[in-house]
A and B are shown apart, each in its own frame.
Chain A
Amino acid sequence: MSPSEDQAEVERVLAGDISAFEGIVRRWQGPLINLAYRFCHDRGRAEEMAQEAFLRAYRALSQWRKDAVFSTWLFALATNLYRSELRRIPARMVALDEVAEPADGHASDGGLEDHDRDMAVRRAVLALPSRYREALVLFYFHEMDVATAARSLELPEGTVKARLSRGREILRRKLPQRLAAPRLKEA
């Protein structure tokens, strides 16, 4: 995924060659759909939101300032769209208080499968207040890179760090048993 390819194709599109946009779509469809999926956990909706993001990118292509990498601009645009779409029609989710904790914490140490625990944590992330959810989703989507997440969210890095910290704190408080690693208890 080289930035020069993006730039060349953007210039071709701006010069009137619409078919050059297909290269951009094919290159970035996976990341944009997966980012949307992390926000809504609904494949169909993720594709719809990603399609709308590409369409908006096409409309706004001339506004891309080449001082930022194209992908940064594209992710910021897509993130903005996904956030506003999910404010308009929230993703189907359970309330944070309803994310199940095992009744007996000790039983969960041996019996609960990792998969269930992972699912519970992901459901809990979706149930977080939007500001914390968005920070966590973007942070992990960008492979734990705070700077990139902050650029996508168009927020200062300090704000993103604070939201990550608060989001994790809420998760720890809501899922104390699921997030207590068994090896820690042995220690």
Chain B
Amino acid sequence: MGRWEVRMTTNASDEEIDRVLSFEDEILPSSGFAISVMDAVRREAAAPPPIPFPWIRALPVLVVSGIALALFLVAGIVAVAQLGKVAAPRFSMPSTLALPPLLHGGMESAAIWTLLALVATFVSVRFSMRLASGRR
């Protein structure tokens, strides 16, 4: 009996929900709605097409950047691995010997890194300007 009552309540509630939600008031579009949409569509149609990304020009630089990044990561991993070997107690090698020459401290390596950074900056600025101006 109790279960029957619960089921009846549930059904009645569903009917009530159906009744309330099926008959919501309809609203009418305002008088200028279609005109306003068509204005927006005409503006959209008149706008110049978006400039596509210049993949052909960008591709070589992206490839070179990818290779450079990969090389840098490999150099870093090698350096870390060699540092680990140096840290072992059996070998008392100076830590600078474990690093690739470019990663040694000192004026020379600092100069080389600075030069590399300047070259990279120069190349990226030139490339960006070329892309922006549309020249090959």
Q: Is the CB of A25 within 8 A of B40?
A: no
List, in ascending order, chain A residues with CB within 8 A of B92's CB: none
List, in ascending order, chain B residues with CB within 8 A of A122's CB: 20-21, 24
B33 on the A face (CB < 8 A)? yes
In this complex, what residue of A is CB-closest to B8? Answer: A184
- Interface of B (DSSP majority class): helix
Asked if A30 meets B10 with Cβ closer than 8 Å, knowing A51-B37, A121-B17, A121-B20, the reply is no
Enumerate A2-26 residues with CB–CB distance to B below 8 Å: 18-19, 21-22, 25-26
A contact residues, total (Cβ < 8 Å): 39
Q: Is the CB of B34 within 8 A of A144?
A: no
Partner of A118, one of B13, B20, B37: B20
- Interface of A (DSSP majority class): helix
B contact residues, total (Cβ < 8 Å): 29
List, in ascending order, chain B residues with CB within 8 A of A125's CB: 21
Interface residues of B, Cβ cutoff 8 Å to A: 8-10, 12-18, 20-22, 24, 26-30, 33-34, 36-38, 40-42, 44-45
Q: List 19 A-B contacts (CB under 8 A).
A: A25-B38, A29-B33, A29-B34, A29-B37, A30-B26, A30-B28, A37-B27, A43-B27, A46-B27, A51-B40, A54-B40, A121-B17, A121-B21, A140-B18, A140-B22, A143-B22, A144-B18, A168-B14, A181-B12
Instruction: List 5 other contacts, CB 8 Å, given A38-B24, A47-B30.
Output: A21-B41, A50-B33, A122-B21, A140-B22, A172-B13
